Amino acid sequence: MCGIVGYIGPQQAAGLLTEGLARLEHRGYDSAGVAVLGSRLQVVKKAGRVRDLVDALPKRFAGKVGIGHTRWATHGPANDTNAHPHVSADGRVAVVHNGIVDNAASLRERLTEAGVELASDTDTEVFAHLIGLSTADTLEAKVVDALSQVEGTWGLAVVHADFPDRMVVARNGSPLIVGVGDGEMYVASDLAAVVRHTTTVAHLDDGELATVTATGFTTFRQDLTTTTTTAREVDVDPSAYEYGELDGEPRMFTEIHEQPSSVERALRGRLDERFGTAHLGGLNLDPRELRAIRRVKILGCGSAYYVGQMGAGLIEELARVPADAEAASEFRYRNPIIEPDTLYVAVSQSGETIDTLLAVQEIKRKGGRVLGVVNVVGSAIARAVDGGIYLHAGPEIAVASTKALTNMYVAFSLLALQLGRVRDLSIADGKRLIAGLQALPTQIEEILKSESHLEEIAARLAEAESMFFVGRVRGYPVAREGAQKLKEISYRHAEAYQTSELKHGPLALISESVPTVAIVPKDELTDRNVAALHEISARRGPLVVVTHPDVDLGELDALRVDVPKNEVELDPILMTIPLQLIAFHAAKALGHDVDKPRNLAKSVTVE
């Protein structure tokens, strides 16, 4: 959600900025713009795609210092005027900003009373004017002066015509990194923007600012005292961040098909077959501390929340510890009770999800212990927590999460296994689960081979304006995730229910035009699940049943999707894979941009 790129060095900035912005397109945006500082400050911004911005750039757009931005509209509609960068009244200051200015209305009123003519509807514009009006002697002091008047969150980059040898950046609740090159420096909100040029980066902390010149950077706080943030080499493959389609297919398609190898990476070095347990050194918890845990609370947003529900069920089953999942976006607003013997787990692909990060900060503020389950090394959540599990899914570019979600479930399986083995889970059960985990990559490959069948089902579901996804106990979070995936990329209405709740209201909506996708694993509830499906069929509701090969559906009129059987505790993740393919092919059948669904962003960095 929104992206920032900055450059200072010997090269012309414009091309580097637009290239970086294109690499942030997966984050979601509706307009883009750049400012370059050469003999004068020049700004071009455009509603639409980055390619529209590139087409709008004049032939003479020279400057070796610059900032760029992709905007996702909050204050004011998506148009050229509201796009970033925003400029001060005298045209000498340009700023780009991710985040929200909570007191924007009062600041805009104050600026108007001072004679400033505001050009946009945005909250961000106040930064440009506050910096431009500051009488401080240095750019750093001008930015600090402006920040002292602002309430809210920001990832901010500033250039000023009076200080052409530098830019100043600041972070408070919205991610920002500084990339170190050879005689040149980069700034970005996401590593993807700069990874082609450098993998040596410094992550700013909340409340920290940096002065960036062509030869290096220095960091400081708002009281202008220096800090000691340093840059480190990040172990990533730059080619994995290549944007756009791969081999002619959307990124979501390739990421679905990468899941066998991504699961193998998540398991590598973490299974202890001798003792039937997992080894997660990153937890920073010894066996005595693990045994002292009396409750587990999992926090995530969207798909991370749903996989957290799957993980909570798994932890209760294997470790016999009470566990539940909650939407991180709601957690801190209900003044939660933070218990010393509760283990809190924050789940986020990007590691930058603002709602989840704020929940982590609330728990830490109250003395709780938090683990992170994240995919991005060095991300804000990864640095804020007490320990955690990296997903090792590799960069995930498509907005709809697939391989990262699968690796989240694998991570919860490992956590549940380790928690269970320090309690009452037997070594025999531990070894049984390890064998199941090791079988996952091959079984996922088997599911992917049935893609043509799933494509046919998706085409039929795409014709429906609304549908249900249903499941019980282990299957219910799978149904929730299936509904989420379908609606976010196909724009069809999909609602998830516990199968047992159908008779308490939703059956009223069942008809020939409202299909149901049912999750029916072979487990202790199979017969009850199948009986409920007969209730749907009796009301002429079309059925798609995701199940196991030896489940007898009787005379049920349904489209059947068979999934390989694993251990009952691990079946949910395999049943999620066909739902990913159904959502993908439904969206394609409807002609939608699968990788960039409307109104959504890959990394949500504003509340």
Query: First-to-last CA distance in the chain?
Result: 11
β pairing state of 493-498 and 466-471: parallel
Could you tell me what percentage of the chain is helix, strand and coil, using 3-state DSSP and rounding each to the nearest 5?
Answer: 40, 25, 40
d(CA 437, CA 526): 23
Nearest of 276, 258, 480 to residue 375 by alpha carbon: 258
How far is the C-alpha of 331 from the C-alpha of 84, rounded, in Å?
A: 32
Question: CA 585, 604, 378 angle in degrees (round to 5)?
Answer: 105
Query: Quick one: which of 67, 42, 66 has its CA closest to 56?
Result: 42
- 162 vs 474: CA distance, rounded Å: 61
Q: E strand or H helix at 589, and its extent? A: helix 571-589
Decide if 59 is catalytic: no
What residues form DSSP beta bridges with 217?
Answer: 212
Give the integer Cα–Cα distance in Å for 310 and 63: 51
Residue 594 contacts residue 252 (beta carbons within 8 Å)? yes
Tokens of 349: 């692909």
Complete edge-to-edge strand list for the sheet that includes strand 516-520? 493-498, 466-471, 516-520, 543-547, 559-562
- Which run of H or of E encompasses 496? strand 493-498
Strands (E), 189-294: 200-203, 208-213, 216-221, 232-233, 271-272, 277-278
CB 519 within 8 A of CB 546: yes
Question: 230: helix, coil or strand?
Answer: coil
Helix/strand/coil for 329: helix
**Structural tokens at position 533:** 């499906």
Q: Is 64 a catalytic residue?
A: no
Contacts of 327 (CB under 8 A, 6+ apart): 299, 300, 301, 305, 355
Active-site hit among 2, 46, 142, 301: 2
* Alpha-carbon separation of residue 387 from 176, 372, 605 (angstroms): 22, 6, 22
Between strands 516-520 and 559-562, the pairing is unpaired
Name the phi and psi angles at 86, rounded to 5.
-105, 150
Task: Identify the active-site residue in 142, 297, 596, 602.
Answer: 602
- CB-CB neighbours of 556 under 10 Å: 15
Q: What amino acid positions are annotated as catalytic residues?
A: 2, 602
